[in-house]
Structure 1
């Protein structure tokens, strides 16, 4: 555990220290989120936070490669190279999108290439740890399924990335639950609790949590930098990689609930946890993405057509403040992720009771503003679109294609400030991440 915590700290410290440099790069190259009609933030904000997280990932993996405890993980370096190469590919793809606003087809092709490289290097989902080792088709099927899982995870995180600190907090919380489960499972399946607990999935999850922890101080409301597509796709790929390594390559006979021949009915839920937990960790992002696709396709629009109907938009419409909306989404993530993970340390009855009570508490907090007149929170303000300021002689792009000279904002080394212009949004007005 101490080695994993060390790598978590290395990843967090590196990400934290590199984020100001990523912010400078965003200002230098004009990677700034302009205020659009669908947004709820009031001032343009630099992005490219994913660059800092990528450096945190690569530095932590480099440090890990020199630790004797993890030597067995690096015996076959191909999965590590696959993770590093895939992460670099999608992060640079996100950087290009943050600067030049790529079309969705180009982004999808880049995502497939990044996921495909990882699969080519051996990070493959080739079996399901249920009722024995259910092997999935041929190697081509494994590769296609792996790419599908990774691409879905990347887009799910990107869809939910809409408020300051939201995506980083949710992935950090879910990653923590997944990390604890992976470490616990490794202890129980290695020499009866004795031996080397080194495990690639646990390593990746520790580094992932560190990336989120290091980025959050710069990203919580009011954010000084957004992670952008470079960050959201990176987080999605890394957590998908950990899921594939743990779930898709797990020996079902080694699970504590498996007796090597058959499963008793009361033992079936723990065996499904390796599949349920990744879904629970990404449940809200997957739900948000699924609803968005259904909503947009049903309206005859592209699945990637932006709107203001994401889950976080709905929380703001209920009357939650920016911080409250983010907190509610974090709480739901805690309930689903840790509630599912508890199935392997508590009895099924205890775990389900805890999960049920957590869901009731989260629901009450979610609906809290309805008990009062707007709950004292500020509603979403629409139609406020400040002009995009020049950055070293160039204006950041606006996807609307219009120039709206409403206010003038200056972005410098410190916090952005509005200097002149008409009425400003009230203090505390939400500032979301870039989202589809």
Structure 2
């Protein structure tokens, strides 16, 4: 089949790769000048199936109030008269129950675990390199209350067979030696040895290059204006370069997916949640993290990417606003300099923000729509990098009429009906 993929972030490019591997003729369309130039550009760098959990969970509404009042708080809300924002927040609050959390978590973990396996297989198959490390992640607790509160998370890890280690301060330093410089600032940690790290932008660029050699065509600098329908099917995509047609279409436009789908009568509860990052050049390798350290107090991820440290965090609910706000940079700088004071020079850091496509329940939206030749892969939130390869592989199977290796029937948009 001829397949048109809308979007060249990590979700779109991995889908294109696996579709081409399945024998299809694939074209990727994007308004940017190259792949991974929006949300995939500067994320935290974690491939973390062990942390694949919904944001909506028991106790989150109360925690949110505390986060909003913190000086270096991880949550920011900029209220506006926006029906989509209000609807999304209300739907998220409805998912903050133990029962719904359990259902949503059970939908997220299999695709995340499968995706990590697909990434490993892809790495072995084509030798792709992207400043990757497979040294686990460490969730670092500054208070005893945080450490004591891990019982529920550990039960979930046991339920899904995810390897973990509960560490005292010495164990944390053993996993991340540079923490020895600040050993009075934490009481313990939860380490997930199966998690990985890597530069998502670098991965996406190199996979796009590989896909192009396999025949995938990339049409950059091409603005998507709308999707045309005829007789219950997608007839083509209206772009700045004219009407593009195919046999099947994949919408992988991240936070912009609902805008493109709404004129078709398709409503998906995906809303942009803004995240920030700084990328810091390493000045002292011995003082930098070895892998990823999650600063639980500020909800900040500090990740080693080659000769750089990527520091990512903040959930800002402000719509499609891409303004870089100095207060958010201050939070990221505070966390990394507090835990790794010798690691990098924050005065030379680059500052970035991106829009995470979040669903109110947590799992992504992957699969069919009521149009028999339109498929979705969006709504991955903070886990697009974690779930990318698995999402691309199962979508290629669905489009090809094959049974995926895992059950993804509860990931399609019909769960919102």
Question: TM-score, normalised to structure 2's length?
Answer: 0.24
Pair member with larger Rg: 1
Q: Which has the higher strand share?
A: 2
Q: Which has the higher helix share?
A: 1
Question: TM-score, normalised to structure 1's length?
Answer: 0.24
